Chain A
Amino acid sequence: MLILTRRPGESLYLGDTIKLKILSVQGKQIKIGLEVPEDMTVYREEVYLKIKEQNKQALETSQQDLLAAAALWEKKEPRK
């Protein structure tokens, strides 16, 4: 891993399209400003990992449980 030291107000570039600026440091929190190309997605790691895990779980449902759940909630909507 490349390790760099930066002060608030200082920036670094990743390639020539991504700019990462340290805006402020307050205690344990660092505020970072990002300038990235429009078509690039930026996710917080913990959110990304959580959703990835949830997608995995949605994949692993057994067919039996899936049909059982569908049966449990089947008539909710039409009953109003």
Chain B
Amino acid sequence: MGKERTKKIMTRLGEREVSSDGIVYFPRGLIGLEDKREFALLSVREGESPFFLLQCVTDPGLGLLVADPYSFLDKYDVKLENLDRKTLKIKNIKQLAILVTVTIPQNRPEETTLNLQGPIVINTEARIGVQVPQTDSGYPTHFSPIRG
């Protein structure tokens, strides 16, 4: 119907075009960034990459590197509290996408690690996101993925 509107935003990777339905709202912000609510999920490069940039729509300098954990791990269970389920407005588990933040030591990209303790859960249909600390999971904050 030609309803899909796009807008240009400035990102850490330069100017990008995002469609209006590509913006995810974080009602509680992210941990330590509680006042940032709107983020766009951008691919870092064309083609198949497990890495994405979670770019704040209102702050060009603020973009977190995140990854799809299931590209690296067969099993990764994220526990959601009732409050998180409610905030995310989950109707169906298939609506959910899970991302983890990524740390790259300066100039040592081969030492990239994933933080499995603070996953970001997104309801892809409602476009709502929440970061959910995994308190008792025993998952590490610096998981080293193995290069395939």
Determine, out of A7-15, A17-25, A26-34, A52-60, the stretch whose residues face the partner at the interface: A52-60
* B145 at the A interface (CB under 8 A): yes
In contact, B48 and A75 (Cβ under 8 angstroms): yes
Chain A interface, >50% SS class: helix
Whether the Cβ atoms of B112 and A77 lie closer than 8 Å is: no
Contact B13 A43, beta carbon cutoff 8 Å:
no
From A39, A68, A75, B109 is in contact (CB under 8 Å) with A68
Residues on the A chain within 8 Å of B123, using CB: none
A51 at the interface (CB under 8 A from B): yes
Distance A38 CA – B87 CA, assembled complex (angstroms): 11
Task: Tell me the complex Cα distance, A76–B135, Å.
Answer: 30
- Shortest C-beta distance, A13 to chain B (Å), equals 21
Question: Of the candidates B47, B64, B71, B82, which one forms a contact with A38 in the assembled complex, judged by CB atoms under 8 Å apart?
Answer: B82
On chain B, the residues within 8 Å of A53 by CB distance are 32
Complex alpha-carbon distance, A32 and B85, angstroms: 24
Asked if A51 and B12 make an inter-chain contact with CB atoms under 8 angstroms apart, the answer reads no
Flag if A58 contacts B147 (CB, 8 Å).
no
Do residues B106 and A62 form an inter-chain contact, with CB atoms below 8 A? yes
The 6 A-B residue pairs whose C-beta atoms are closest, nearest first, are: A76-B148, A51-B118, A52-B32, A68-B109, A58-B101, A69-B109
